[in-house]
């Protein structure tokens, strides 16, 4: 069984993958806007928008599938609920490590 520190490192890698996927999608969308203006056509804009949506969906899946190191269930996905910005496990309420409050 992996150590908890390794699991949280994996979590941060998955979160970073989502960030880069969204940034790449935004770059594709911006390129689509520029190409649409140059060609006076909306086709490239929609292609860039589709690339953004696809990149975001592709990058979000590994983070949604991340298993909680405490309970083993998916950390950010429970039933029909998916919250990729959650600060605690949706099953056992295990908080993310890191900043302490108070
Ligand atoms: Zn949990």
Give the tens place of pLDDT for each residue, 21-75.
999 999 999 999 999 999 999 999 999 999 999 999 999 999 999 999 999 999 9
Residue 101: pLDDT band (50, 70, 90) is low
What is the arithmetic mean of pLDDT over 82-87? 93
Q: 0.85 exceeded by the pTM?
A: no
- How far apart are the CA of 88 and the centre of ligand 1, in A? 8
Task: Say yes or no to pLDDT of 102 above 70.
Answer: no
Q: How confident is the model at residue 99 (pLDDT cuts 50, 70, 90)?
A: low
- 100 CA to centre of ligand 1 in angstroms: 19
Helix 43-64 × helix 4-39 angle, to 10°: 180
**Cα→Cα distances 15→19, 44, 48, 93, Å:** 6, 29, 23, 19
CA of 76 relative to ligand 1 center, distance in Å:
9
Q: How many whole angstroms from 97 Cα to the centroid of ligand 1?
A: 13
């Amino acid at each position: 069984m992996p150590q908890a520190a390794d699991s949280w490192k994996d979590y941060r890698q998955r979160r970073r993958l989502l960030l880069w996927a969204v940034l790449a999608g935004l770059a594709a969308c911006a390129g689509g806007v520029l190409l649409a203006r140059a060609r006076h056509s909306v086709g490239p804009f929609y292609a860039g928008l589709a690339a953004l949506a696809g990149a975001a969906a592709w990058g979000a899946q590994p983070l949604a599938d991340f298993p909680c190191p405490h309970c083993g269930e998916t950390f950010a996905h429970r039933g029909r609920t998916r919250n990729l910005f959650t600060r605690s496990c949706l099953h056992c309420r295990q908080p993310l490590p890191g900043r302490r409050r108070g």
